[in-house]
């Protein structure tokens, strides 16, 4: 088996309004560095990652001002209205034979050990894979009025994380074959909807996504310990 080639796609064209900031959340600063710089760093430093492609908005005023923007592994493409559009734009700029790891720009706590787990999987298996961690809390499903309908069995229930890794051509084919694009909530869902299989790699629970304002403090705590 030939050694796989690995690239990274990072969609960063979103606004992230729930954080309550005047700028996109990926450009908020934690410990004197932007969130997206933390998210990019382990991939840019990894010896087995060949390229990193960031999808940015047309009116992005921040990315080119970051020192990381000039990194030799890094390139940029125009993002789209939805996350899936930004991902697809970046995928099409990469060799179709690459394995591609898609990672959220607002997940700054990703560690190299979890990236290595995905790369090791590609060396041994033909299927794509994603990071996730087991659900620990009791899970409830409600109706639209927020009244509990039932308790969800948490056996074999996982929190989806990123990166999610697939062969580039497989992921492009999956995304473009699905008419109901709103059903694609992450890359694994595109593969699932197109009939493919996805392996779960158990990852770190501190690989959080900054979504709410309080997540900034939690991310700062985790990053201060790395």
Question: Per residue in 43-65, pLDDT tens?
Answer: 999 999 999 999 999 999 999 99
- Residue-averaged pLDDT of the chain: 95
Going by DSSP bridges, is the β-strand pair 6-12/99-102 parallel, antiparallel, or unpaired? parallel
Please say if the pLDDT value at position 1 is more than 60: no
**pLDDT, position 186:** 97
pLDDT at 156 over 60: yes
pLDDT of residue 2: 74
DSSP string, 93-134: TS-TTSEEEE--TT-TT--HHHHHHHHHHHHH-SSEEEEEEE
Residue 3 confidence class, pLDDT cut points 50, 70, 90: confident
Helix 112-124, helix 35-45: angle, nearest 10: 50
Rounded to whole angstroms, how far apart are CA atoms 119 and 32?
Answer: 30
The pLDDT value recorded for residue 17 is 61
pLDDT tens digits, residue range 9-39? 999 998 666 565 689 999 999 999 999 999 9
Question: Does 6-225 carry CATH code 1.20.1250.20?
Answer: no
What per-residue confidence (pLDDT) applies to 36?
A: 98
pTM: 0.94
What does the block give as tokens for 114? 């979890």
**What is the number of alpha carbons within 13 Å of residue 103 lying toward its C-beta?**
32
């Amino acid at each position: 088996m030939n050694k796989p080639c690995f690239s990274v796609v990072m969609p960063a064209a979103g606004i992230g309004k729930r954080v309550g900031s005047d700028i996109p959340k990926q450009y908020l600063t934690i410990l004197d560095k932007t969130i997206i710089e933390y998210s990019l760093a382990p991939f840019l430093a990894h010896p087995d990652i060949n390229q990193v492609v960031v999808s940015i908005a047309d009116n992005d005023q921040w990315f080119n001002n970051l020192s990381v923007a000039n990194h030799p592994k890094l390139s940029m493409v125009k993002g789209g209205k939805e996350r899936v559009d930004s991902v697809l734009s970046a995928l099409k700029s990469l060799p179709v034979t690459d394995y591609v790891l898609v990672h959220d720009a607002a997940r700054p706590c990703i560690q190299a050990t979890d990236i290595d787990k995905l790369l090791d999987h590609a060396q041994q298996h033909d299927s794509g894979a994603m990071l996730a961690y087991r659900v620990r809390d009791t899970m409830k499903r409600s109706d639209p009025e927020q009244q509990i309908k039932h308790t969800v069995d948490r056996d074999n229930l996982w929190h989806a994380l990123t990166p999610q890794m697939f062969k580039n051509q497989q992921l492009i084919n999956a995304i473009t074959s699905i008419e109901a694009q709103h059903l694609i909530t992450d890359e694994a869902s595109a593969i699932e909807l197109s009939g493919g299989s996805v392996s779960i790699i158990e990852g770190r629970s501190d690989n959080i996504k900054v979504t709410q304002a309080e997540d900034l403090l939690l991310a700062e705590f985790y990053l201060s310990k790395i």
